[in-house]
Amino acid sequence: MHISEGVLSAPVLITGAVLAAGGLAAGLRSIRSEDIPKASILSAVFFVASLIHVNIGPSSTHLVLNGLIGVIMGIGAFPVIFLGLLLQGLLFSFGGMTTLGVNTFNMAAPAVLFGYLLRPAINSKNLGISTISAMLGGSLPVLSSALLVALSLYMSGSQFLGVAYEVIIGNLPVVIIEAFVVMFCVRFLKKVRPGVLEPQTDAAPA
């Protein structure tokens, strides 16, 4: 789901950078000192999970796990995902520096949105509700990210319409896979570290 260099138009790049900067600022304020190890581990998981990718034109498909990051970190998903994307761009040339803002927003914004919306249901004591919510928490962010990538491409030129469709279709298997991955991760965390999934105060202490 990385968009490569030299593809997006300047307005799309600028808009993505501004939106990502806002998310980063809010995310960094939300991360407390005790959250740094958790954020570091999640950033490493994101980095490794998305190393194996399949190219789809100017983009690619791979495991994302942004849903899991959003459920655990809330708005803190922005710096977690940004760091992973930055290292991938610097070390392996996945994505790029000019597209870093757009790629960050496309992956982090759905993670934050659905993380907040589904976290209460995921923490439900009802196993069925928790399981279904966790699966939605894994699948919906990935699907939404694919749609945002497709929109970014289309807004950069109608010639990318075919590629935009390919991005959405190419990520449908990932949507299904991540639904089950996040479900199993949530069930494991609820058994061994249930506090990780509980709402955190998304503001730095005074």
Q: Per-residue confidence at 50, pLDDT binned at 50, 70, 90?
A: confident
Whole domain around residue 53: which residue ranges? 10-194
The rounded distance, in Å, linking the Cα atoms of 173 and 12 is 27
Amino acid letter for position 203:
A
| 3-state SS, one letter per residue, for the chain | CCCCCCCCCHHHHHHHHHHHHHHHHHHHHHCCHHHHHHHHHHHHHHHHHCCCEEEECCEEEECCCHHHHHHHHHHHHHHHHHHHHHHHHHHHCCCCCCCHHHHHHHHHHHHHHHHHHHHHHHCCCCHHHHHHHHHHHHHHHHHHHHHHHHHHHHHCCHHHHHHHHHHHHHCHHHHHHHHHHHHHHHHHHHHHCHHHHCCCCCCCCC
Mean pLDDT of 23-35: 92
User: Tell me, what CATH number does 118's domain have?
Assistant: 1.10.1760.20
Q: In angstroms, what CA-CA distances link 100 with 8, 15, 106, 191, 201?
A: 11, 12, 10, 36, 27
Q: What percent of the chain has pLDDT over 70?
A: 91
Mean pLDDT of 42-67: 78
Tell whether 4 is covered by a domain.
Answer: no
Tell whether 206 is covered by a domain.
Answer: no
Tell whether 130 is covered by a domain.
Answer: yes
For residue range 86-126, list pLDDT tens digits in order.
Answer: 998 888 777 778 999 999 999 999 999 999 999 999 999 99
Q: Residue 103: what pLDDT? A: 93
Phi, psi of 56 (to 5 degrees): -130, 90
Tell whether 200 is covered by a domain.
Answer: no
The rounded distance, in Å, linking the Cα atoms of 188 and 62 is 23
Tell whether 5 is covered by a domain.
Answer: no
Tell whether 205 is covered by a domain.
Answer: no
Q: Residue 48: what pLDDT? A: 86
**Mean pLDDT, the chain, integer:** 87
Number of domains into which the chain is organized:
1
What pairs with residue 54 in β-bridges?
61
Tell whether 135 is covered by a domain.
Answer: yes
